[in-house]
Amino acid sequence: METTVISFNATLLNEKTKSWLSDLLFIKDEHKFLLDATNETTLEITNDDTQIEREEIIDAINRSEKRNCMLINTVENHLEALDNCILDSTAQTKNEFTAKHLLLQDKVNKYIATFKRLKKQLFEIIKKAKKHEKLEYLLDSKLSTLN
């Protein structure tokens, strides 16, 4: 892994951290949407495989939601630590903070990438279920016209 060195720029670090917080809070709202999208009226359960997929995706959303809450708390604490670091002007404190900042940046970026994959999976499952539902409807309507 390549190590990135950044200098201590309180304004830049503050902006970046607030941007993470904004992204994480938005994802918190997206979790509500995703759970709603998996409810039984939206995602009709047509067979056992669909039920298993639905349960797995709900479980994954719940795990993602817990991870998101932990990251929100961590980022909020990081913002507070930045305020304290600004007051403590020692180079060692600032270097330690920037190192922690880079680690947190990596965690947030990985989490967001994982969340995007989860969201894509859910939309693929919904798309597949809707296609199946439409096909059944077309077959039923075709059969009813033949009778």
Average pLDDT over residues 72-93: 88
Nearest to 126 by CA among 53, 22, 69, 32: 53
Count up the domains in the chain and report the number.
1
> CA nearest 66: which of 42, 41, 35, 36?
35
Is residue 82 scored above 70 in pLDDT? yes
pTM: 0.80
> The domain containing residue 16 runs over which residues?
10-146
Q: Output the pLDDT for position 45.
A: 60
Quick check: is 1 in a domain? no
- 3 found inside a domain: no
Which amino acid is residue 83, in one-letter code? D
Average pLDDT rounded to a whole number, residues 50-75: 91
**What are the residues whose beta carbons fall under 8 Å from the beta carbon of 96, sequence distance 6 or more?**
none
pLDDT at 131 (0 to 100) = 82
Residue 5 domain-assigned (yes or no): no
Using only C-alpha atoms, the chain has a radius of gyration, in whole angstroms, of 23
Residue 38 lies in a domain: yes
Model confidence at 4, pLDDT cuts 50, 70, 90, reads: low
pLDDT at residue 37 in the model: 82
Note the pLDDT tens digit of each residue in 95-118: 889 999 999 999 999 999 999 999
Is 61 among the domain residues? yes
Whether residue 32 lies inside any domain: the answer is: yes
Share of the chain above pLDDT 70, in %: 88
Residue 56 domain-assigned (yes or no): yes
pLDDT over threshold 90, residue 121: no
